[in-house]
């Protein structure tokens, strides 16, 4: 069985979330921090051998005070991020174990991921070396400048990237080693720059990324629609909600 490591970036500023008490990965969602919802989907898998959470240095003290026990019990590694997202992922890549075959990057603020979608994108990455979840663009897309429409963009062949994004270990390490100074909005873009194909696996609009308070409300409904995790020995490892807040 191939071995996977999962990196959960949670080092952003949450500037569009507009909450003075919480950044979006750490806010409670159905009595559990958002990042824990994301983490548990991978911690329950036999093929995932390592989970790394990336947080901002400025959040370290508060994070440790709230979640140190969770991290210890679950065996999650926590690393501090950098100035840009790619810097944060690079810091996590440096901690990936030597025996890992594939590396998945999944937004910590994307808690409504189903096991089936993880299965599909993991399997696709095993076949092609690089695969991401994505959904086809459904709406009409407008390019806008100064509040006015400049053009309507044809949506044929346009897809919205999601996570997990999964790559053969060496491929992702090479992509980051050669990333240079040009920013990238996701990991697939760095792999694309190497001239390597990235397989698209159709995901779901339910696999939403929490960006605003409205997204948080939608996620609460979406979680109820997802299949329940397997119960181990009659007690789900996340059953004690008070412990995971």
pLDDT at 215: 87
- Please state, in angstroms and rounded to a whole number, the distance separating the CA atoms of residues 196 and 191: 6
pLDDT at 25: 82
Segments of the chain with pLDDT less than 50: 14-19, 231-245
Q: Looking up tokens 């750490």, which residue turns up?
A: 26
pTM of the model: 0.88
pLDDT at 15: 46
pLDDT at 191: 97
CA 82 to the chain's CA centroid? 17
- Please state, in angstroms and rounded to a whole number, the distance separating the CA atoms of residues 187 and 61: 28
- Report the Cα–Cα distance between both ends of the chain, in Å, rounded: 33
pLDDT at 168: 98
Q: Which run of H or E residues covers position 143?
A: strand 141-145
pLDDT at 244: 36
pLDDT at 149: 97
pLDDT at 78: 97
Task: Kindly give, in sequence order, each residue whose CB lies less than 8 Å from that of residue 131, ignoring residues fewer than 6 positions away.
Answer: 121, 124, 125, 165, 166, 198, 199, 200, 201
Q: Which run of H or E residues covers position 175?
A: helix 169-177
């Amino acid at each position: 069985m191939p071995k996977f490591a999962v990196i959960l970036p949670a080092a952003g500023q949450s500037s569009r979330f507009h909450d003075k008490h919480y950044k979006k990965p750490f806010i409670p969602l159905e009595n559990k921090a958002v990042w824990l919802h994301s983490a548990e989907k991978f911690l329950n898998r036999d093929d995932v051998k390592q989970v790394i959470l990336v947080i901002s240095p400025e959040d370290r003290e508060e994070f440790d005070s709230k979640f140190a026990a969770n991290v210890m019990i679950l065996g999650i590694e926590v690393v501090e991020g950098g100035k840009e997202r790619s810097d944060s992922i690079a810091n996590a890549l440096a901690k990936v174990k030597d025996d890992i075959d594939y590396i998945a990057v999944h937004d910590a603020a994307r808690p409504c991921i189903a096991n089936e979608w993880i299965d599909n994108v993991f399997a696709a990455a095993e076949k092609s070396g690089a695969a991401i979840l994505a959904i086809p663009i459904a709406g009409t897309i407008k390019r806008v400048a100064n509040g006015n429409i400049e053009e309507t963009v044809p949506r044929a062949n346009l897809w919205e990237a999601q996570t997990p994004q999964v790559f053969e270990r060496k491929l992702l390490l090479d992509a980051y080693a050669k990333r240079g100074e040009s920013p990238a909005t996701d990991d697939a873009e760095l792999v694309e720059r190497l001239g390597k194909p990235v397989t698209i696996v159709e995901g779901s609009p339910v696999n939403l990324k929490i960006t605003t308070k409205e997204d948080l409300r939608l996620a609460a409904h979406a979680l109820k629609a997802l299949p329940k995790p397997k119960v181990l020995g009659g007690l789900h490892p996340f059953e004690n909600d008070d412990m995971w807040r």
